[in-house]
Structure 1
Amino acid sequence: MSDHSAAFVPAPHQQAWDRVSPADAGFDSARLQAAVAFAQAHESPWPRSLYWPDGAYVGNREWNESGPWTEIVGPVAERGGPAGLILKGGRIVAEWGDTARTDMTFSIAKSYLSVLAGVAFDDGLIGDVDAPVGATIDDPHFSGPHNGKVTWRHLLQQSSEWQGEIFGKSDQVDHNRQIGPRADNSRKGQRRELKAPGSFYEYNDVRVNVLGYALLKVFGRPLPEVLRERIMDPIGASRDWRWQGYSTSFVEIDGQRVQSVPGGGHWGGGLFIGARDHARFGLLVARKGEWNGRQLVSRGWIERSLTPSPTLPNYGYLWWLAARPGVPAGSFSALGAGTNVIWADPEQDIVAVLRWIDGASSDGFVDRLLAARV
C-alpha cells in the first residue's frame, strides 16, 4: 500500500483490537493455521530461565563469549513460551500464545534505536547523518584521529569501526563475530586490525550501545522517556514495556544521573516488551512512520532506514532487509536473539511478530505465511 492516510489502526491498549477472518484478509485459513502451528512447534531451544543448567547465560553460550567482558550487568527475566500475531491491514488475523507478556527481546531494540535516531533527525538534533558524531556531541568517545571520523550513518549501519570501551565493555568483544543459525564464532573476541570508519560491516553490540549513548546526549533525557512520549503512547502501546540499562551505564546529564540503555540483551537489560506492542511498532514503520493521520517519524527517514547499506546490502539503519529468493523485495524485519522477530511486508500491509521461535525455523514460518496468501 502506498497511501496509508486512511488506513485502519488498532484502538489503544486495553480496548478491543479489531480482528478479521483469514478469508476476508486474503489468506487460506488452513495454510495460515499451518504457519501458526509451525511457529508453535518450533520453540527456541533456550531455557526458559535464560540460564543453562551449568549457570551460563544464554548470550555467553550463544556467542561463544569468554574473557574479561562476559559479566552480566543488566537485569534478566525468565522468558515465556512461543507467542505471536499476524496483522493484515492493521487487524489481527491470527494470534497465539501470551502476546501481552513483557519479555526480553534482545536486538529488536536496535530497530527502536533507529526510529529514535529518526526522531532526533526530524527535530533537528542531528543535522546531517554523514557528519561526524563528534561535530554534534563534544565527548571523548567521538574524538581523535579514528573515532573522530565516525558518523551517525556509520553507527546506524554498523560500519563505524568505533574503537574503545563504554560501560565496561570493549568493542573487541564482538570482533570477528558472526550471527545467525550455525554461525562460526570460534574467533569471536580476538582482536583484529580496524578498518576506516564506514568501510566494513560488523555486528557489534558495544558500538550500538555507543549509538544509544550518543542519542541520550543529543536528547538530554532518558531514551525510554522519549520513546514513550513520541512513539509508543501515540500508537496506543501498553504501559507495560520497559527499557533497562546496565548497573554500569549511568551517566550525568545536566546534573542528573541518567541511565543509558543498550541495543539488546547481550549483557542483560534491554527492551522488555510484549508481542502486541511490537506489532504496533512494526505497523508504524511498515506505514512509513504514519499513524492515524499523524507523521510520528518522517517518511523520508523510514525510507532511508530501509535502504541497503554499502557494506551489507541486506541491512539498513539497524533493520534487516529482504535478502533471499521468494520473499517480497520490500519486506524487512527486526531480529533479536532467542529468536524474536518483527517481520513486515508493506506492499501487502502485513505485519507478523514471533516470540521465541527456533532461529533456524524463522524463515520457514515466513515461507508458510507467504504461501497462505490467496
Structure 2
Amino acid sequence: MVFALAVLVLGTAATQADQSVAIADNFPGAAFETTTPEAAGWSAETLAEAKAWSQQLAPTAAVMIVQHGRIVAEWGDTAVKSNLHSIRKSLLSALIGIAVDKHEIDLNATLGSLGIDDNSPGLTETEKAATVVDLLKARSGIYHAALYETPGMAKLRPPRGSHLPGTFWYYNNWDFNALGSIYERATMQSIFTSLDQKIARPIGMQDYQPGDGEYFRGKDSDHPAYPIRMSARDLARFALLYLHDGRWKDRQLVPSAWVRESTQSYSDAFAEIGPGLGYGYLWWIGFPRDMGAPTVNVPAGSYEAIGAEGQYAFVIPAYDLVIVHRVNSDLPHRPEPNFRQMARLLWLVLSAAGDRDAGPDVALAHAAGTRLSGGALTSALSGKTLAVGKWLKGGPFAWQLRADGTMSILAGPARRERWTGTWRVDDRDRFCRTLNETDARELCLVVVANDARLQLFDSDGLMRLDAEVE
C-alpha cells in the first residue's frame, strides 16, 4: 500500500507553505537524482551556513539532504564505508519486523522460552521473564555486562535486579546484542546476509556487502555485537525506505504496520537533558527541544537512527525529508557532536527549507539584546538569582550568585540546595562558574541581556541557558 501523508511543502513562497501533498513516489535508481536548492525552493544561503556549521563540528563529515527523493545538498565523501556504530540497531529493527511478519519471531516470547541466557552470573528467573518486545524497547531489566558499550553506558547501568522487566528504560547494549542472537537463531541466517538479501539489494544500495559486518565478541557476554560499515548514500536509501513506510517502489519490504509501531515513542529518553527525545523499537523519536535553552522543534512524527561519533539518519515525514550525517570514526576526528550542536544543524537545514516552526535562532551571532561586559556584567549578576531550566528533569533551578563569588544551585519547586560552587567574570568578559564536584571544570559563558532575561552562550556561540532574573 502506498504510504501517503499530508505534509507541508517546504518552500520560500507562502502559497507553497500552505499546500499539502503526499510524499513523492520517487525512488533513486542506480544513483540518486539531484536538484538545486533554488529549484527545490530552499535557501542556498542558509544551506551554506548549515554546511559551514557541519564542517566546523566535523570537518570529515559526509552529509546528504534528500527531499522528495532527490538530493538537495550534499558534502563530504558519501560513498566511503565506515562504522555505523549504534545505527546497526535500527537496521536490526527492520529485519526483526520482517521476521515478526513471517511468524519467525514472537514479540511476547520470554527469554526463558527462547533459551536465552548468558555467562556467569547467568540470568535469573525474573530476568528470563523479559520478552522480546521489552528488549526492543530497551526495558528488559537485565543489567548483565554487555559488549561494545561506551564507558558512559557502562557507568549508567543499574544494579542487577533493580528493575522488573518492562518497567524501566535504560539504553542497554545487552538488550540490543541479545536481540541479534534471537534474530539469528529464529531465522537461521546472519544479520549481515539478511540485511543484504532483504533490504540492501532490493533498495539498490550501491556499496554494502555482507562482508561489511563483523561480530564483536568478548568475555563479558555470550551475545556478540554486530558492527556494520555503510556509506552515507546507502544509509540515505534505508532512511528513504522508512520514509515510505517500508515500501520501495512496488515492493513492501518492511511491513508498514511495523514501521509505524517501531517509530513511536514508548519511553522518554535521557530526560535529564531536557524534553523531546523518546525511544521506540531501536529507533529514537523526536529530538531534545529545550536543554536549558531552546534547541530545535522537529515536526511531529520525526524520528532518527543514532550512532556514536556523530552518526545520524533523520526521517522527517512531515516534510518528505531525509537527512544523513556521517563521521568516519576510522580517521582522526573531533569529539562527537553533542545534541545541542546537532540541533543547530537541524535548525539550519529546516530553516533553509522554509520551516517557520523550527524554533528561535539561538546563535550568539544573531542574538537580540546587549552583550554585557565589565562592570555592567558584574552588576547584572552579583547578588542575583537566575531562574533556569524549567523543562529539565529535577527543575526548575535557581542559581544564587552571591557578591562574594560563591554560588548555590537550588533544585525543584522546593528549591533545595543541590550544588555549590564559585563564580567570577573573566578577562574575556564571560561569566564563569565552577561547581564543588570531583573533576569539575569551569564553564564560561557570554551573557546577553534581553529585556528581563539573561541569555548565556557557550563557546560554540549557542545559547546554553535562557534565564529569568529574580
Whether contact under 8 Å (1:151, 1:160) holds in the other structure is yes
Within the candidate set 169, 175, 188, 1:207 is matched to 175
For CA contacts below 8 A with separation 6 or more, give which structure has more relative contact order: 1
**TM-score with structure 2 length normalisation?**
0.60
Residue 19 of structure 1, CA deviation: 0.6
2:353 matches 1:353:
no
Say whether the 8 Å CA contact 2:130–2:165 is kept in structure 1. yes
C-alpha deviation, 1:206, in angstroms: 2.4
d(CA) in 2 for partners of 1:38 and 1:174?
A: 26
Question: What is the deviation of 1:238?
Answer: 2.4
Aligned residue identity for 1:124: H
SS at match of 2:306: strand
Task: Indicate conservation of the 8 Å contact 2:232/2:326, yes or no.
Answer: yes
**Contact conserved, 1:108 with 1:335, CA < 8 A, in 2?**
yes
In the aligned structure 1, how far is the partner of 2:125 from the partner of 2:262? 28
| Alignment-mate amino acid for residue 282 of structure 2 | L
Instruction: Give 2:169's aligned amino acid.
Output: Y
Alpha carbons of 1:261 and 1:229: their partners in 2 closer, same or farther (altered >3 Å)? Answer: farther
After superposition, residues 116-135 of structure 1 pair within 5 angstroms as 116-127=95-106, 129-135=107-113
Which residue of the partner structure matches residue 318 of structure 1?
282
Residue 5 (structure 2) aligned to one of 2, 6, 10: 2
Letter of the structure 1 residue corresponding to residue 63 of structure 2: G
Identity %: 30
Q: Kindly report which structure 2 residues correspond to 1:1-374, keeping only aligned pairs within 5 A, or say none.
A: 1-2=4-5, 7-12=25-30, 16-43=31-58, 81-127=60-106, 129-135=107-113, 137-141=114-118, 144-164=124-144, 169=147, 177=152, 187-188=155-156, 191=159, 193-241=161-209, 242-248=212-218, 262=225, 270-310=227-267, 312=269, 314-323=278-287, 324=289, 326-356=297-327, 358-359=337-338, 360-374=340-354
Corresponding residue SS for 2:298 = coil
Aligned-residue Cα RMSD (Å) equals 2.8
**Distance (Å, rounded) in 2 between the aligned partners of 1:159 and 1:190:** 12
Mapped partners of 1:189, 1:164: distance in 2:
9
How many angstroms does 1:344 deviate by? 1.5
Amino acid at match of 1:130: N
Per-residue deviation, residues 200-253 of structure 1 (Å, max 9, x unmatched):
11112122111111111111111111111001110100244511112559x9xx
More strand by share: 2
Q: Secondary structure at the match of 1:354?
A: strand
Maintained 8 Å contact 1:174/1:203: no
**4+ runs of 1 displaced by more than 3 Å?**
3-6, 138-144, 163-166, 187-193, 310-313
TM-score by length of 1: 0.75
Structure 1 residue 165, shift from structure 2 partner: 5.3
Gap change, CA 1:26 and 1:146, over 3 Å in 2: farther
Q: Which has the larger radius of gyration?
A: 2
Task: Report the secondary structure of 1:24's partner residue.
Answer: helix
Structure 1 CA distance for aligned equivalents of residues 144 and 199 of structure 2: 32
Query: For residues 188 and 316 of structure 1, do their structure 2 counterparts lie closer, same or farther at Cα, with a shift above 3 Å needed?
Result: closer
Q: Which moved more, 1:309-318 or 1:88-97?
A: 309-318
Contact 1:289 1:296 in 2 (8 A): yes
Cα offset for 1:144? 5.0
SS in 2 for 1:85: strand
Distance across 2 between alignment mates of 1:200 and 1:247: 27
SS in 2 for 1:145: coil
Q: Deviation of residue 5 (structure 1)?
A: 8.8
**One-letter amino acid of the counterpart of residue 372, structure 1:** A
Whether the 8 Å CA contact 2:5–2:23 is kept in 1: the answer is no
Instruction: Give the CA deviation at 1:23.
Output: 2.4
- In the alignment, is the contact (CA less than 8 A) between 2:142 and 2:161 conserved in 1? no
Aligned to 2:366: none
